[in-house]
Amino acid sequence: MVKRHESWRTRSLLSRFAHVVERTGLALAGGSCGLFVAAHIARSDFTLIGSGAAILGMMIYGASGFYLGIDLPPAPQKLRELSLRGLGSRADAVELLSAAGTFLTAVVAVTAVSSIILDEVARPRGAMAVFLGWALGASMQIAAGIIARTRTHIS
């Protein structure tokens, strides 16, 4: 088992390969979520998704969210010791942001897939809610991933 605090340079070649495959799988899952949400929106009268480029953009944004936001690097010890009024550290808050974004994105994707499978026609307001929920969740993942990667330079 690879320890989260283990440096990339100290990992074996097999461990590095496994990490890249894992992250690629996460990115594909995020891209799939984006594709399902785009397909759901395209079936409605809501004209947000009108081109292949918009669908590809949603897939890339979703892939970025899952790639950056799910596998967060560990926080430096200094950040782990800082407390937010007894609720946990700032590092814990970033993990919560990532988890909430992942949960929201997945719930919205399941909603979109179930609508597609049940052959329901999405209404414009419902499609807008699905899109906004998905975009918010993916943005939360990306923000958490960026925060976690920039905080590793604090010592």
User: In this predicted structure, what is the pLDDT of residue 84?
Assistant: 52
User: In this predicted structure, what is the pLDDT of residue 75?
Assistant: 62
Whether the CB-CB separation of 136 and 104 falls below 8 Å is answered with yes
Which of 56, 42, 34 is closest to 116 using CA atoms? 42
Q: What would you report as the CA-atom Rg of the chain, rounded to the nearest whole angstrom?
A: 18
Residue 134 has φ and ψ, to the nearest 5°, of -65, -45
User: To which H or E segment does residue 15 belong?
Assistant: helix 13-42
CA distance 76 to 99: 19
Cα angle value 2/102/105 (rounded, 5°) = 150
- Interhelix angle for 13-42 vs 90-117, to 10°? 50
From its phi and psi, is residue 71 left (phi > 0), alpha (psi between -120 and 50) or beta?
beta
Mean pLDDT of the region 27-35: 90
**pLDDT tens for each residue of 93-148:** 888 888 999 999 999 999 999 998 998 888 888 888 999 999 999 999 999 888 88
Pick the residue with more confidence: 80 or 142?
A: 142
Mean of the per-residue pLDDT values of the chain: 80
